[in-house]
C-alpha cells in the first residue's frame, strides 16, 4: 500500500498549494514517496492498519513536507509530459556522470527539488539526510 501523507484539502490550504489544479493526487503520491525516501532509517510509530504516523507532530511534519514538495514539483513542471531532468553527460566505461542539465544547486530526490520548508519540517522528526541525485 502506498502511503500518502497529505490530501487535496491539505494541499489547497498549504501556501502556494491552491496553484496546483491538475494532477493533485499524482503529485501527492509522488511527494509522499519522496518523504519516505528522505526519512529512510528514521523510526516513528505507525498505525498497524494504515501505516501512517500516529504521533500528531510527526504526521503534521510529514503532511507539511509532502505539500511543500508537491508545490515545488508543480511549479517546476516535474510531472508535465516531456519534462525530465537529464544528466549533462553520462559515460558507461569507468562510470562518469555530470550535473543535471537544467538543475540548480538545491538538493533533489528523483528529479524533484527539495524545498527548505520540507527539510525543516522533516528535521523535526529526527535524523534527516538530504541526498542529492
Domain range enclosing 119: 8-123
Distance CA 35, CA 118 (A): 9
Assigned domain for 64 exists: yes
Assigned domain for 129 exists: no
**pLDDT (mean) for 2-6:** 92
Count structural domains, the chain: 1
pLDDT computed for residue 40 by the predictor: 79
Average pLDDT in the chain: 77
Assigned domain for 130 exists: no
**pLDDT (mean) for 26-47:** 88
Assigned domain for 111 exists: yes
pLDDT of 11 > 90? The answer is: yes
Judge if pTM exceeds 0.85: no
Distance CA 5, CA 13 (A): 14
Assigned domain for 1 exists: no
Helices (H) and strands (E) in the chain, counts: 4, 4
Largest CA-CA distance found in the chain, in angstroms, rounded: 49
Produce one character per residue of 81-104: b if its CB has 16 or more CB atoms within 10 Å, e if not. eeeebeeeeeeeeeeeeeebeebe
Assigned domain for 94 exists: yes
**pLDDT (mean) for 26-45:** 87
Assigned domain for 133 exists: no
Tell me the pLDDT band of 120, cut-offs 50, 70 and 90: confident
Amino acid at each position: 500500500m502506498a502511503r500518502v501523507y497529505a490530501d487535496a484539502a491539505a494541499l489547497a490550504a498549504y501556501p502556494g498549494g491552491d496553484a496546483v489544479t491538475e494532477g493533485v493526487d499524482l503529485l501527492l503520491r509522488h511527494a509522499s514517496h519522496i518523504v519516505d525516501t528522505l526519512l529512510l532509517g528514521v523510526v516513528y510509530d505507525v498505525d498497524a492498519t494504515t501505516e501512517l504516523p500516529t504521533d500528531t507532530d510527526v504526521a503534521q511534519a510529514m503532511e507539511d513536507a509532502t505539500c511543500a514538495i508537491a508545490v515545488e514539483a508543480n511549479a517546476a513542471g516535474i510531472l508535465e509530459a516531456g519534462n525530465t531532468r537529464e544528466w549533462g553527460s553520462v559515460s558507461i566505461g569507468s562510470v562518469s556522470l555530470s550535473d543535471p542539465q537544467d538543475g540548480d544547486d538545491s538538493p533533489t530526490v528523483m528529479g524533484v527539488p527539495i524545498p527548505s520548508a520540507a527539510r525543516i519540517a522533516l528535521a523535526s522528526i529526527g535524523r534527516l539526510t538530504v541526498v542529492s541525485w
